[in-house]
Amino acid sequence: MKLIIDNHEYLARPGESLYDMVRALGLDSKKLSLDPLAAKISGRVFTLNYIPLREKDVGLERTTIRKAMAASGGVVRLLRYSDEEGRETYVRTAQFVLFLAIAKLWPKAKAKMSYTVGSGIYFKISGAEDFSVERLREKMQSIIDSALVLHRRRISTKDAIAHYESCGLDDKARLLRYRPRETFDIYESGKFADYFYGEMAPNTSYMRSWDLIPTPEGFILVLPDKDDPDRVSNFVEAPNFNRVYQEGKLWGELMGCETVADLNELVISGKVRELIRVNEALHEKKFSEIADEICERGAKAVMLAGPSSSGKTTSANRLATQLRVHGKAPILMSLDDYYIDRDKLPTEPDGSVDLEHINTIDTELFGKHLCELLEGREVEIPHFNFKAGKREWIGKKMKLSDRSVIIVEGLHALNPVLLPKEMPQSAVFKLYVCPMLALNLDDHNRIASSYLRLLRRTVRDYETRGASVQKTLSMWSSVRRGEDRWITPFMEQADVIFNSATLYELSVLKKHIFPLLTPIDSSDQYYTQVRAMVKFLNYVLEAEVDDEIPPTSIVREFIGGNSFYK
């Protein structure tokens, strides 16, 4: 069969893997920036160890073409680190090497993947006598140098559960009990077997750019630089973020909800309702404490920022409620109203407009208005008409009283260019809102906070804006790039970071999003992303508990019924 691999024609032979074909075509490289890590065929991601044509019944000379290859017409696109699916393949490979090294050095140790900050993944390790990052680094490098082939094997789910129970990995065994399929794929090397819910590189030698940094509880795995993957990223610690995330992990432990299996058991027992009540009470307590800090400082303006689907609007309204308890008169103000007219924005080389850029905001006008308001002057505030793409002046005037506190909400609210240098810093309180989900699939597989935000946004865009799943996914890469450039770099400058995640919401979001995902088939250009979402949500049990979720909940901002929008 003739294949088209990255626009190169290749006559495939039965039993030949994609890895063999890549090498025969000279498309392999010793540089991570150039080397293919996986392949996309007919909308799905495959390991390079995939064999497109299998020889069956050799005596009968019968060749079987794999289903996905037949569907693609022989077209194969190679995935590299510059592709999101390629980066995910690399991370999974790095995880396998890391946990394999730990298993070889400290067989009785328990290692957990904790959370990600920038280019670093935090891990905890316990029960490892004489643990040292140096020993772990050496063992990992030895595994990498040996170029161990990462074999994927399909076994029954029942056998997988038994295997993980025998290895003491109860977290994985418990999760697999909720798997709807009777089979399960594992990657293995010798007696070690693990799985990271997606494809991995053909062998361990592909892990080329990495480092380890020791921490009090374990270590940080530092990943390659996104823009230059041939070098290790310059990891920057985020102590404020870490503290807030650790607090979330602590509450997960106290409420017995650290993994998806824990959440499912709470759903089955009905105790998820108590989890909802405690989560919502914690949020309210935090908003009360933030209001206390604002009043103690005597701040007159709150700059509230956060990435997409963090719950900024609900957070602003709930904070306003708490400020009223203090006798304040909060005024909500949106940075969106300071957008520059769309037809005045500079275009990219391809003719598109980067709507995430700080230059889409009239920062000079906003700074001028904020100064005048804090000086006690009356100011006419603009209104941005999104349908017309233009700023309008509709006579909306604002003047602060002695009790007033402005809450300015927007993606760029923490960007220092918004605040004039002459403005007293004590007058401004900076608040960063972001969901930091302290819930893992299992000890070796975390759930990224960005993933939770994507689920939230997909549900909200469909429920409130009539947008399809594909429409949301088409914008997500651009949204994430904008966040990395314009939002998260200012996170640590906040006076307070508020964790807007709830431990229960995956069980609530599933029933809203699952019916939107399942009709999308492999012919759709976003099938890979949709399939990953479906595979993940298959492990989550739905909870019929909407009646327990208060109308002021951040979750209500996405599933509907939020009283602040009425």
Domains, the chain? 2-80 (no CATH), 86-222 (3.30.980.10), 239-559 (3.40.50.300)
Q: What percent of the chain has pLDDT over 90?
A: 72
Dihedral of alpha carbons 429, 430, 434, 438, sign: negative
Do 532 and 45 contact (CB within 8 A), yes or no?
no
Three-class secondary structure of residue 112 per DSSP: strand
Residue 62, pLDDT > 60, answer no
Residue 417, pLDDT > 90, answer yes
Residues 64-78 have pLDDT tens digits of: 567 788 888 899 999
pLDDT band (50, 70, 90) for residue 566: low
Residue 60, pLDDT > 50, answer no
**Taking the CB of residue 315, how many other CB atoms lie within 10 A of it?**
24
Query: Dihedrals φ, ψ of 389, to 5°?
Result: 70, 30
pLDDT band (50, 70, 90) for residue 56: low
Mean pLDDT is lowest, of 132-136, 209-213, 353-357, for 353-357
* DSSP, res 390: E
Three-class secondary structure of residue 343 per DSSP: helix
Supply 556's token pair.
């209500």
Instruction: Give the model's pLDDT for residue 169.
Output: 86
Do 308 and 336 contact (CB within 8 A), yes or no?
no
Residue 59, pLDDT > 70, answer no
Residue 263, pLDDT > 50, answer yes
Instruction: Give the model's pLDDT for residue 65.
Output: 66
Mean pLDDT of 439-452: 90
**What is the rounded radius of gyration, in angstroms, for the C-alpha atoms of the chain?**
26
Rounded to whole angstroms, the Cα distance separating 408 from 332 reads 6
Supply 514's token pair.
């699952």
Do 451 and 326 contact (CB within 8 A), yes or no?
no
The residue to which tokens 């920038």 are assigned? 118
Nearest alpha-carbon partner for 457 in 483, 431, 438: 483
Query: Dihedrals φ, ψ of 301, to 5°?
Result: -140, 135
Q: Are strands 329-334 and 404-409 parallel, antiparallel or unpaired?
A: parallel
Q: What is the mean pLDDT of the chain?
A: 92
- The larger pLDDT score, comparing residue 221 to residue 521, is at 221
Do 364 and 372 contact (CB within 8 A), yes or no?
no
Residues 223-233 have pLDDT tens digits of: 999 999 999 99
Supply 433's token pair.
């809102």
* DSSP, res 362: -
Nearest alpha-carbon partner for 95 in 114, 82, 118, 108: 114
Three-class secondary structure of residue 462 per DSSP: helix
Residue 391, pLDDT > 70, answer yes
Three-class secondary structure of residue 194 per DSSP: strand
**Taking the CB of residue 289, how many other CB atoms lie within 10 A of it?**
13
Do 46 and 86 contact (CB within 8 A), yes or no?
no
Rounded to whole angstroms, the Cα distance separating 358 from 482 reads 9
pLDDT band (50, 70, 90) for residue 463: confident
Residue 138, pLDDT > 50, answer yes
CB hemisphere CA count around 279 (13 angstroms)? 29
Give the list of residues 6+ apart from residue 298 with CB closer than 8 angstroms, or none.
426, 427
Rounded to whole angstroms, the Cα distance separating 345 from 321 reads 36
Q: What is the DSSP string of 120-131?
A: EEEEEEES-TT-
pLDDT band (50, 70, 90) for residue 193: confident
Residue 441, pLDDT > 80, answer yes
Q: In the structure, how many helices (H) and strands (E) does the chain have?
A: 16, 25
Mean pLDDT of 528-536: 89
